[in-house]
Amino acid sequence: MNRETERLYFASDYMEGAHPAIMQKLLETNLEKTVGYGLDAYSESARAKIREACQAPEAMVHFLVGGTQTNATVIDALLKSYQGVISARTGHVSVHEAGAIEFGGHKVLTIEEKEGKVTAEGVKQCLMEYWKDDNHEHMVMPGMVYLSQPTEYGTIYSLDELEDISSVCRENGVYLYVDGARLAYALAAPGNDVTLPDLARYCDAFYIGGTKCGALFGEAVVFPNPKTVPHFFTIVKQHGALLAKGRIAGIQFDTLFTDGLYDKIGENAIRMADQVRAALRAKGYEQGIENPTNQVFLIVENDRQAQLARQVELAFMERVDAQHVMMRIATSWATSQADIDRLIALL
């Protein structure tokens, strides 16, 4: 195929396979026999490395397959049957999980957000409104807060913001859970000051995304306090989320947490996204929500969008008005300079 005329793909950050080091390791270990369900030595090793990276020596770590599955399983595990989860109106659990949280019996209690982020104040107000309402016993009790880092719009919480939200949660006895589907891109973002140990210190649970950050699939759930959820293994099984050949996830995370790979794996995506942002500015495009991670939002006219669509696949975000749409360009750990050059030329 002629590289010059080949279609470009920038619709998402899960369009390639896995980091070569992962493929290499999977290949090397392929015919070894190990026990299943994540009890193998590779998974154990991955868990140990994650605990160390998080400075959370007691943490319980489990490997699940995908993001929606992980959110549904962890939220169901943390909530009582009559509780709901507070989320930004734009949170993935609220909008794009086909009702997986409700399937588990829980309401998503949406609050206002700005560029995908909620505030400690917003969370506090939601909690106060519930507890001060005379009829609160007839309402869904908020039992936890769901954040994504980075958010669905690529923005990131600062350490101060995370700390404030965590304080509100702890003062009010609700859990804090962070969806890290794209966590590597937050960790590598310029200006980011939230580290893995910070997440372990401020959250009751969070997951380190693999699917969008260099793995074939897989999300590493971390409960810094291992007593938070008894029998989580069975809950994972009940949710259909237990991988028989658990080591396939274990090997991937073991690789991602060897020699600090996970900390660095997002850097390429951000370098590439920054080039696109600069080009868009130079060419006078209107950008949507600006952010320091791997998602670039641009607002284009319908005609322009139709034209672009013939050569490059972008993600549709929302209709801005009758004439304009907001599209997304997502880069990844694997995006090549050649593809970015071609994209910029097209724009």
Restricting to residues 81-110, which ones interact with its own copies according to CB under 8 A? 81-82, 84, 95-100, 102-108
Q: Report d(CA 129, CA 127) in Å as an integer.
A: 5
Minimal distance, residue 234 CB to its own copies, in Å = 5
Minimal distance, residue 331 CB to its own copies, in Å = 11
208: left (phi over 0), alpha (psi -120 to 50) or beta: beta
Q: Is 72 in the site for its own copies (CB under 8 A)?
A: yes
Q: Choose one: 30-38, 190-198, 260-268, 290-298; the region binding its own copies (CB under 8 A).
A: 30-38
Positions 160 through 179 that interact with its own copies (CB under 8 A): none
Nearer of residues 108 and 168 to its own copies, judged by Cβ: 108
Nearer of residues 67 and 288 to its own copies, judged by Cβ: 67
Minimal distance, residue 49 CB to its own copies, in Å = 21
Q: Which of 45, 55, 69, 258 binds its own copies (CB under 8 A)?
A: 69
Q: Which of 43, 87, 192, 211 binds its own copies (CB under 8 A)?
A: 211
Q: Is 9 in the site for its own copies (CB under 8 A)?
A: yes
Q: Is 237 in the site for its own copies (CB under 8 A)?
A: yes
Sequence-separated (6 or more) residues with CB below 8 Å from residue 314: 10, 11, 308, 327, 328, 329
Q: Choose one: 75-83, 114-122, 153-161, 190-198; the region binding its own copies (CB under 8 A).
A: 75-83
Positions 259 through 318 that interact with its own copies (CB under 8 A): 313, 315-316
Nearer of residues 5 and 191 to its own copies, judged by Cβ: 5
- Spell out a b/e string for 234-260, using b for 16 or more CB atoms within 10 Å of the CB, else e: ebbeebebbbeebbbbbbbbbbbbeee
Q: Is 15 in the site for its own copies (CB under 8 A)?
A: yes
Cβ(206)–Cβ(177) below 8 Å: yes
Q: Which of 227, 244, 303, 338 binds its own copies (CB under 8 A)?
A: 244
Q: Is 32 in the site for its own copies (CB under 8 A)?
A: yes
Q: Which of 152, 168, 189, 147 lies closest to 273 in space, CA to CA? A: 189
Taking the CA atoms of 26, 28, 30 and 36 in sequence, report the sign of the dihedral they define: negative
Nearer of residues 93 and 123 to its own copies, judged by Cβ: 93
Q: Which of 36, 57, 226, 260 binds its own copies (CB under 8 A)?
A: 36
Measured CA distances, 16 to 75, 162, 176, 217, 286 (Å): 29, 31, 31, 11, 28
Q: Report d(CA 19, CA 203) in Å as an integer.
A: 28
Q: Which of 131, 197, 207 lies closest to 168 in space, CA to CA? A: 131
Q: Is 243 in the site for its own copies (CB under 8 A)?
A: yes
3-state helix, strand, coil in the chain (%, to 5): 40, 20, 40
